[in-house]
Structure 1
């Protein structure tokens, strides 16, 4: 650990701050802070003016010739915008920061003292201990559940089990440990989310480590990952964010290292019939399951959200947590249609199927993407057949229905129909986002 004064121009607001997860760039991170914490940001900026600077040095780590801010992003942002109000995301905020700049006595500091840490593990330990209270925006803001989840997903901490320890134990038992020491923190980061763990054939659920693919195939994948990390062929910078992790695992998949569908764990073909038992009493009306209130069920779909899917994720979370079907059917129908189109376009942009043309209508693009997923054995022929129905206007569960919900003044969205449409295409839409 060291402290040093660093130029504001060399401090980069963290696009992967755990407050919001991965965004595209520094500008998007600054915009998020004001879209979601404007009152706190204004209070903090005024406090910085009154204090003539910041009391707590930002926590930073070197990256080439710049420094990424890991703690103190709000403080650093306020100082950057006081120094250069034009970087504020709205005209009103530009005027606000221009006034603060004019009111600053003397020269605005070009450098601020920072705490420099090169060890990413130590950075995460510091972050975990610091976020305890907000003080109405002047102090550090407490992390909410989503922010804590972002931290766990990025770092692999707090999942209830040390994945790296479990992998190392199994490799040792199979006599497949690399000669060099495995950097456990990097291995935990790489496999920080279930979607990444599943790709190498393992799972961590309810505090238990298990195989979801044939053990030999999973061990082959774990051995290669351990070897790449131990030899430093793959370093922390290669797997720091979602895209880096996905790109590395994609490269292993192309080499044939990762388990495939043929490595699925066999299940018994015969299940013994249980002994007869009295029929359970019929449930009372109060104990029957309630119809879900949101369009998207509040379950984990295993999507890793890279920065380029920033808007997709925002819409998804509104549909999964914020908007109630009975209260907001019009807003939900419009956002559902937007999410479907953005998801299909994401699959096309990433995989570039040759059959899709730019002037194809959404229903046609959807069909061609479904056929591409089927040809890649991602979805089966039965599900493809179901999706083909989405082309027909006479089907109540169709793309045309969503289109009319958005554009027709006489076509009223129905919560039940919206649920039915989601339930018919959720698998398809999820695959498009995972591309």
Structure 2
């Protein structure tokens, strides 16, 4: 009954004059792989490779696997079975900031990067691959943030990366995603105006109300609802900081005679995230600069002006630029919660 009011009136199909002629294709569709001529079900890695190519978004799990594939320090019994590792489980681990800090890696612009000795990073990733290949291992072992914290705490001394050992120069994982031009779009593709503040909703927001606000920011046409987007952006940033402060209790410095301004909250959250290694100074640079610049759209005065100054009128371009500067920071903040 769910689709009672939206039943399709047309459907694309092929009609055979003789039903027996269709039997060949019905059999191939429903009887498995048939040595490659039937329907072959993709494993999680093949799905990730396809999504990476089509969505033009680097997969952290695939990058981690490529690090292992290209390393001579990985035992053959592990390397030969890497195709069996579920990328969903690998992705769940390397997407966690605490696990990344443990491994000695960080993510910038969707790419795994590191200043830690690659041999040490491989040591930790090898243990993860070994565990994920163990038939006794289940997703319940790494389901929640606390589960993942307990998981890495059990690493033996020989498999725990020594992140104090640094590489001679910074390095990064290989990605097959096509490189973009300086304008941030693939070469040969004509650019078109951005219709929404957020192009891809890739931040997992655990607070229900803020998840709804984030969803609206992903959908609202910024050229038509510029003022609504500007107010929602301010609310989303401040309440996200409130959620972080409630969880980790960082010290918020402010004048006791005045309200706690967004500037104070952001500075407290940034300092705490850097100290906990949830983000580095590069990730935090955009939001730090924004709240210190009086003329920036994310400065405290400007944010208040959105609501209280009837003469102030934000533009779609300034809002998009403001979000682009803080998106990775906001993503790291919600990953940590």
**How many Å apart are 1:419 and its aligned residue?**
2.3
Which residue of the partner structure matches residue 294 of structure 1? 196
What is the CA–CA distance in structure 1 between the aligned matches of 2:292 and 2:193, rounded to whole Å?
A: 28
Q: Structure 2 length as normaliser, TM-score?
A: 0.55
Please say if residues 370 and 384 of structure 1, whose CA atoms lie closer than 8 Å, have aligned partners that are also in contact: no
**How many Å apart are 1:174 and its aligned residue?**
3.0
Which residue of the partner structure matches residue 344 of structure 1? 241
Q: Structure 1 length as normaliser, TM-score?
A: 0.44
* Residue 72 of structure 2 is aligned to residue 175 of structure 1: no
Q: 1:426 to 1:175 in 2, by over 3 A?
A: closer
RMSD (Å) for aligned C-alpha atoms: 5.0
Please say if residues 45 and 83 of structure 2, whose CA atoms lie closer than 8 Å, have aligned partners that are also in contact: no
**How many Å apart are 1:323 and its aligned residue?**
1.4
**How many Å apart are 1:220 and its aligned residue?**
0.9
Please say if residues 405 and 412 of structure 1, whose CA atoms lie closer than 8 Å, have aligned partners that are also in contact: yes
Which residue of the partner structure matches residue 268 of structure 2? 368
* Residue 105 of structure 2 is aligned to residue 216 of structure 1: no
1:275-331 alpha-carbon deviations (Å, 9 max, x no partner): xxxxxxxxxxxx87444332224485xx4x26x3444444334323x2121111122
Please say if residues 124 and 160 of structure 2, whose CA atoms lie closer than 8 Å, have aligned partners that are also in contact: yes
What is the CA–CA distance in structure 1 between the aligned matches of 2:243 and 2:296, rounded to whole Å?
A: 26
**How many Å apart are 1:156 and its aligned residue?**
6.0
What is the CA–CA distance in structure 2 between the aligned matches of 1:221 and 1:338, rounded to whole Å?
A: 39
- The within-5 A match list for 1:318-333 is 318-320=216-218, 322-333=219-230
1:366-418 alpha-carbon deviations (Å, 9 max, x no partner): 11222333445633289559725515656554133223213444433322332
> Which has the higher Rg, Structure 1 or Structure 2?
1
1:207-243 alpha-carbon deviations (Å, 9 max, x no partner): xxx97445312321123224545678853322246x4
1:304-363 alpha-carbon deviations (Å, 9 max, x no partner): x26x3444444334323x212111112211211121013212332343324468963222
Please say if residues 315 and 335 of structure 1, whose CA atoms lie closer than 8 Å, have aligned partners that are also in contact: yes
- The within-5 A match list for 1:203-282 is 212-213=113-114, 214-229=117-132, 235-240=138-143, 243=145, 246-247=148-149, 251=153, 257=160, 266=169
What is the CA–CA distance in structure 1 between the aligned matches of 2:300 and 2:247, rounded to whole Å?
A: 22
SS of 2:169 mapped into structure 1? coil
* Higher relative contact order structure (alpha carbons within 8 Å, sequence separation ≥ 6): 2
Please say if residues 189 and 240 of structure 1, whose CA atoms lie closer than 8 Å, have aligned partners that are also in contact: no
**How many Å apart are 1:258 and its aligned residue?**
5.5
Q: 1:419 to 1:225 in 2, by over 3 A?
A: same
What is the CA–CA distance in structure 1 between the aligned matches of 2:285 and 2:49, rounded to whole Å?
A: 38
What is the CA–CA distance in structure 2 between the aligned matches of 1:331 and 1:225, rounded to whole Å?
A: 45
Tell me, which stretches of 5 or more residues in structure 2 are unaligned?
7-42, 51-60, 172-188
Q: 1:249 to 1:335 in 2, by over 3 A?
A: farther
What is the CA–CA distance in structure 2 between the aligned matches of 1:245 and 1:328, rounded to whole Å?
A: 41
Which residue of the partner structure matches residue 192 of structure 1? 91
Q: 1:411 to 1:167 in 2, by over 3 A?
A: closer
What is the CA–CA distance in structure 2 between the aligned matches of 1:343 and 1:265, rounded to whole Å?
A: 38
